[in-house]
Homo-oligomer: A and B are copies of this chain.
Amino acid sequence: MAITVVGSVAFDSIETPAGRRDRCLGGAATYFALAASFFTEVRVIAVVGEDFTSQQQDVFDRHKIDTRGIERAAGKSFFWEGSYLENLNEARTHTTELNVFGAFEPKIPNAYRDSEFLFLANIDPVLQRRVRESMPGVKLVAGDTMNYWIKDHRPALLEVLRGLDILLINDTETKMLAGNSNLVKAAGVVLQMGPRMLVVKHGEYGATAFFAHGRNEIGAKTFRAPAMPLEEVVDPTGAGDSFAGGFFGYLASQKDLTPGAFRRAMFYGSVMGSFAVERFGTDRLESLTRDEVHARFEQFRELTHLD
């Protein structure tokens, strides 16, 4: 089934201990869409500027990602510059230029309206909510957010959470959102805010899924997926968005959303996150094959299973 994703399509300049890359294709919606495209049809809603050329368009086209919802505006695309020199787990932001993204008004093409899955990548919760409300017929809605929205835009974010089935955030964001420093208790608080599933991403330690009690059609248990121990993390940018793309893309490819499907989706999230960090920007996701995806899934099984 098709996923519509709304979020940023951007250019990133990135410095890591492995080197530097200038103005590579980036943005949450880009990583999400590429990762999800290995599993299902993906449709993107975003805005880009005149610097978005056929070179970037080709990346989406090669993955058969529907870009009719990517608006071309006068000006430059969203630009982010950051580094991970001291700590691979946390980016230091040097520059953020919103450019055409500053006046982003998501427009949903009619061709997207039959999407059964909706992913609200990390953007202003006011926009997330507007897109959510414009697509009342979707079957499953997932979303991401970040510390900035949690701290300074809480009321708008809480409204988004009420309309979400699944929220994917990291440890720090979970504790900040809940106001509780114990992850399990914090997860319980967040699950009272709307989502019936919370996926907490732990970076190099994997991710944990928490399910709301009494609404256990998707499995009543906690589930923990590992990350792949990697010899080299070249560029952590987009790991979380690639996790979300693998996770949600796999779900959208399933006929029935059984508890087992959610567990496997967690593994596919980890799989796509583990590939994303192997090269700069979207390079590894661009070169990736379905066979490699499934082989790594089996490696994750061996990494964690007793028998």
Which A residues lie at the B interface, using CB under 8 A? 182-185, 187, 202, 204-206, 208, 210, 221-224, 226, 229-233, 260, 263-264, 267, 301-307
Contacts and interface: CB of A to CB of B under 8 A. Distances in A.
Given A206-B205, A229-B184, A229-B222, A305 B303 contact: no
A224 B229 contact: yes
B306 A305 contact: yes
A183 B307 contact: no
Looking at chain A's contact residues, the main secondary structure is mixed
How many copies of this chain are found per oligomer?
A: 2
B263 A233 contact: no
A263 B306 contact: yes
Contacts of A223: 303-304
Contact of A305 (B185, B206, B229, B305): B305
Which 9 pairs of residues, A with B, have the shortest CB-CB distance? A205-B205, A224-B226, A184-B231, A184-B229, A304-B304, A263-B306, A224-B303, A222-B229, A221-B302
B260 A306 contact: yes
Contacts of A304: 223-224, 226, 304-305
Contact of A260 (B187, B226, B307): B307
A278 to B, nearest CB: 13
A264 B206 CA distance: 20
18 contacts: A182-B231, A184-B230, A185-B231, A205-B205, A205-B206, A208-B229, A221-B303, A222-B229, A222-B303, A223-B304, A224-B226, A224-B304, A263-B306, A264-B306, A267-B306, A304-B304, A304-B305, A305-B306
B183 A229 contact: yes
Q: Max chain B CB contacts within 10 Å: which of A233, A264, A307?
A: A307
Contacts of A230: 182, 184
A94 B264 CA distance: 46
